[in-house]
Amino acid sequence: MPQAGSTPASTPTHCPYCALQCAMSVSPGPAAGGPAGGSPDRGAGVEPRQFPTNGGALCRKGWSSAQLLGAADRIVEPLLRGPDGVLRPAAWDEVLDLVAAKVRALRTAHGADAVAVFGAGGLTNEKAYQLGKFARLALGTRLIDYNGRFCMSSAAAAGNRSFGLDRGLPFPLTDLGGAGAILLLGSNVAETMPPFVRHLQGARDAGGLIVVDPRRSATARLSEDGAGLHLQPTPGTDLPLLLGLAHVVLAEGLADEDYLARRTVGRDAVARSVAPWWPERVQATTGVPAALLRTAARRLAETARAARAGGAPVYVLTGRGVEQHVNGTDTTTAAINLALLLGLPGTRAGGFGTLTGQGNGQGGREHGQKSDQLPGYRKITDPAHRAHVAAAWGVDESLIPGPGVPATELLHSLGLPGGPRMLFVHGSNVAVSAPDAGRVIEGLRRLDFLVVADFFLSETAAEADVVLPVLQWAEEEGTMTNLEGRILRRRRAVTPPPGARSELWIMAELARRLDAPGRFPTDAREVFEELREASRGGLADYSGIDYAALDAGEAVYWPCPADASPAAGTDEHVAVDSPTLHGTPRLFLDGFAHPDGKARMVAVRFGAAAEQLNLPGTLTLLTGRLLEHYQSGAQTRRVPELNAAQPELRAELHPATALAHGIADGDLVLLSNGRGRVVARAALDAGMRTDCVFLPFHFAGDASANLLTSSATDPVSSMPGFKNASVSLSPLPVGALPDAGPRSAAEAAARPLVEAAR
Contact assessment for residue 594 and residue 165, using Cβ atoms and an 8 Å cutoff: no
Which of these, 360, 323, 21, lies nearest to 196 by C-alpha position?
21
* Tens digit of each residue's pLDDT (9 = 90 or more) over 243-265: 999 999 999 999 999 999 999 99
Contact assessment for residue 374 and residue 368, using Cβ atoms and an 8 Å cutoff: yes
The H or E element that residue 714 is part of is none
Of the two residues 669 and 755, the one the predictor is more confident about is: 669
What are phi and psi for residue 129, nearest 5 degrees? Answer: -60, -50
Confidence at 9, pLDDT banded by 50, 70, 90:
confident
Confidence at 552, pLDDT banded by 50, 70, 90:
confident
Confidence at 3, pLDDT banded by 50, 70, 90:
very low
Is residue 158's pLDDT more than 90?
Answer: yes
Contact assessment for residue 335 and residue 184, using Cβ atoms and an 8 Å cutoff: no
Of the two residues 615 and 741, the one the predictor is more confident about is: 615
Angle at 321 between CA 318 and CA 325, to 5 degrees: 105
Per-residue confidence (pLDDT) for residue 581, from 0 to 100: 65
Which of these, 421, 353, 468, 363, lies nearest to 110 by C-alpha position?
421
* Tens digit of each residue's pLDDT (9 = 90 or more) over 56-115: 999 999 999 999 999 999 999 999 999 999 999 999 999 999 999 999 999 999 999 999
Whole-number percent of the chain with pLDDT over 90? 85
Contact assessment for residue 689 and residue 683, using Cβ atoms and an 8 Å cutoff: no
Per-residue confidence (pLDDT) for residue 580, from 0 to 100: 60
Contact assessment for residue 64 and residue 641, using Cβ atoms and an 8 Å cutoff: yes
The helices-and-strands tally (H runs, E runs) of the chain is 25, 29
**Of 49-53, 233-237, 343-347, 579-583, the least confident:** 579-583
Residue 179 and residue 202: Cα distance in Å, rounded? 6
Residue 74 and residue 40: Cα distance in Å, rounded? 12
* Tens digit of each residue's pLDDT (9 = 90 or more) over 384-414: 999 999 999 999 999 999 999 999 999 999 9
So where are the chain's domains? 11-70, 90-151+360-546, 155-355, 619-757
| Burial class, 98, CB count within 10 angstroms (exposed 0-12 / middle 13-18 / buried 19+) | middle
Contact assessment for residue 386 and residue 373, using Cβ atoms and an 8 Å cutoff: no
What are phi and psi for residue 737, nearest 5 degrees? Answer: -70, 130
* Tens digit of each residue's pLDDT (9 = 90 or more) over 159-196: 999 999 999 999 999 999 999 999 999 999 999 999 99
Is residue 743's pLDDT more than 60?
Answer: no
Residue 131 and residue 147: Cα distance in Å, rounded? 14
DSSP string, 497-541: PTT-B-HHHHHHHHHHHTT-SS---SSHHHHHHHHHHHHTTSSS-
Per-residue confidence (pLDDT) for residue 733, from 0 to 100: 76
Per-residue confidence (pLDDT) for residue 438, from 0 to 100: 95
Q: How much is the average pLDDT of 546-558?
A: 90
DSSP string, 337-386: HHHHHTT-TTBTTEEEEE---STTHHHHTTTT-STTEETTTEETT-HHHH
Is residue 200's pLDDT more than 90?
Answer: yes
Per-residue confidence (pLDDT) for residue 757, from 0 to 100: 34
Confidence at 43, pLDDT banded by 50, 70, 90:
low
Residue 394 and residue 381: Cα distance in Å, rounded? 19
Strands 581-583 and 650-653 turn out to be: unpaired
Per-residue confidence (pLDDT) for residue 753, from 0 to 100: 35
Which of these, 299, 246, 295, lies nearest to 273 by C-alpha position?
246
Phi-psi region of 57 (alpha: psi -120 to 50; beta: other; left: phi over 0): beta
Is residue 755's pLDDT more than 60?
Answer: no
Of the two residues 524 and 3, the one the predictor is more confident about is: 524
Q: Is the pTM of this model over 0.85?
A: yes
Residue 503 and residue 520: Cα distance in Å, rounded? 11
- State whether residue 422 is helix, strand or coil: strand
Output DSSP code: residue 649: -
- Cα 523 to Cα 389, 518, 526, 662, distances in angstroms: 20, 15, 5, 60
Residue 133 and residue 353: Cα distance in Å, rounded? 30
Is residue 745's pLDDT more than 90?
Answer: no
Per-residue confidence (pLDDT) for residue 565, from 0 to 100: 54
Which of these, 522, 488, 527, lies nearest to 502 by C-alpha position?
522
* Tens digit of each residue's pLDDT (9 = 90 or more) over 466-485: 999 999 999 999 999 999 99
Per-residue confidence (pLDDT) for residue 290, from 0 to 100: 98
Of the two residues 566 and 236, the one the predictor is more confident about is: 236
Per-residue confidence (pLDDT) for residue 582, from 0 to 100: 84
The H or E element that residue 488 is part of is strand 487-490
Q: Which architecture characterizes domain 155-355 according to CATH? A: 3-Layer(aba) Sandwich (3.40)
For 90-151+360-546, CATH number out of 3.30.479.10, 3.90.180.10, 3.40.50.300, 3.40.50.740 equals 3.40.50.740
Residue 430 and residue 426: Cα distance in Å, rounded? 10
Whole-number percent of the chain with pLDDT over 70? 91
Q: How much is the average pLDDT of 269-296?
A: 98
Which of these, 339, 336, 337, 335, lies nearest to 307 by C-alpha position?
339
Q: Which residues contact 553 (CB under 8 A, 6 or more apart)?
A: 578, 580
For 619-757, CATH number out of 1.10.10.10, 2.130.10.10, 2.40.40.20, 3.40.50.2300 equals 2.40.40.20
Q: Within a 10 A sphere around the Cβ of 227, how many other Cβ atoms?
A: 12
Confidence at 520, pLDDT banded by 50, 70, 90:
very high
* Tens digit of each residue's pLDDT (9 = 90 or more) over 358-384: 989 999 889 999 999 999 999 999 999
Confidence at 678, pLDDT banded by 50, 70, 90:
very high
Per-residue confidence (pLDDT) for residue 27, from 0 to 100: 92
Under CATH, what is the fold of the domain 11-70? N-terminal domain of TfIIb (2.20.25)
Confidence at 609, pLDDT banded by 50, 70, 90:
confident
Per-residue confidence (pLDDT) for residue 734, from 0 to 100: 57
DSSP string, 56-80: T---HHHHTGGGGGG-TT---S-EE
- Cα 430 to Cα 234, 457, 706, distances in angstroms: 29, 13, 10
Is residue 30's pLDDT more than 60?
Answer: no
Per-residue confidence (pLDDT) for residue 735, from 0 to 100: 54
Q: How much is the average pLDDT of 218-231?
A: 90
Is residue 674's pLDDT more than 70?
Answer: yes
Alpha carbon dihedral 209, 177, 169, 207, in 10-degree steps, equals 10
Contact assessment for residue 221 and residue 694, using Cβ atoms and an 8 Å cutoff: no
Q: How much is the average pLDDT of 273-298?
A: 97
Contact assessment for residue 68 and residue 638, using Cβ atoms and an 8 Å cutoff: yes
Is residue 148's pLDDT more than 80?
Answer: yes
Per-residue confidence (pLDDT) for residue 55, from 0 to 100: 93
Residue 679 and residue 753: Cα distance in Å, rounded? 10
Per-residue confidence (pLDDT) for residue 614, from 0 to 100: 65
Average pLDDT, the chain: 91
Per-residue confidence (pLDDT) for residue 40, from 0 to 100: 41
Confidence at 610, pLDDT banded by 50, 70, 90:
low
Q: Which residues contact 95 (CB under 8 A, 6 or more apart)?
A: 78, 80, 466, 468
Per-residue confidence (pLDDT) for residue 39, from 0 to 100: 43
Is residue 218's pLDDT more than 80?
Answer: yes
